[in-house]
Amino acid sequence: MATNKRKTLAVNPLAMPAFPADKFEVFKNAVMVELANRKNIHDGKWGIDRLVWLVDSELREKVWAQLERVWQAQESRDDQKLDKAVKGMCKAYQAMEDWAAANGVSELPDVRQIEHQQPDGTVFVVVPDEHAKRLYLQQWPGAADRVVWTMAEIAIIVSKQAAGQINEIKRLWPDSQLVKVGGPSGFDDMENDLDMKPNTLPKLFDTKAFVR
């Protein structure tokens, strides 16, 4: 449940500690919930990682330095340092919000956007249409890792995948879920029992002659 060491405010997905767990792991899982909750409140009002790119460089440096302390405390397994670092990071969010209020920065307008921060810190955004995309992008300085798609663009991509069968599957099974699998083939958890050697069996049917 560590923070991401890149210059992003992402917090890795939270989970219940696996038992039996040592004392620090239980404490870390508990205290990081406090930071995740504070980040969620901040992101819901101002947008995911938006203010950190808008504040002045001095404050941005302090915010990133504080996030580094959170990461270092987890690496060193120091519960006192982690508790102090998490509380300091929560204050960093407040400092950015105070800066925004003092400098006339508005909260992120609602253009019916859906934001999702991936584990690597990249923010995946879906908006209804091109007009909403333009309004959304006006709120960003262009320095953050952010990918913005319209619903029409996603529909085009999905309709082209698997010869359009994904849409048919979703129509037949509305509650089905598309998940990512690893490996070049997408099925690296399966044994390769296919014999890919050239076929040496005698040819019993001349397809070319049949076509003629």
pLDDT attached to residue 12: 65
Is 147 strand, coil or helix? strand
pLDDT attached to residue 1: 42
Q: What is the pTM of this model?
A: 0.67
Residue 112 backbone phi and psi in degrees, to 5: 60, 35
pLDDT attached to residue 145: 75
The one-letter amino acid at 193 = D
pLDDT attached to residue 101: 96
Task: Report the alpha-carbon distance of residue 199 to residue 71 in Å, rounded.
Answer: 56
The one-letter amino acid at 155 = A
- Let me know: does 31 contact 77? Beta carbons within 8 Å: no
Show the low-confidence residues of the chain (pLDDT under 50).
1, 4-6
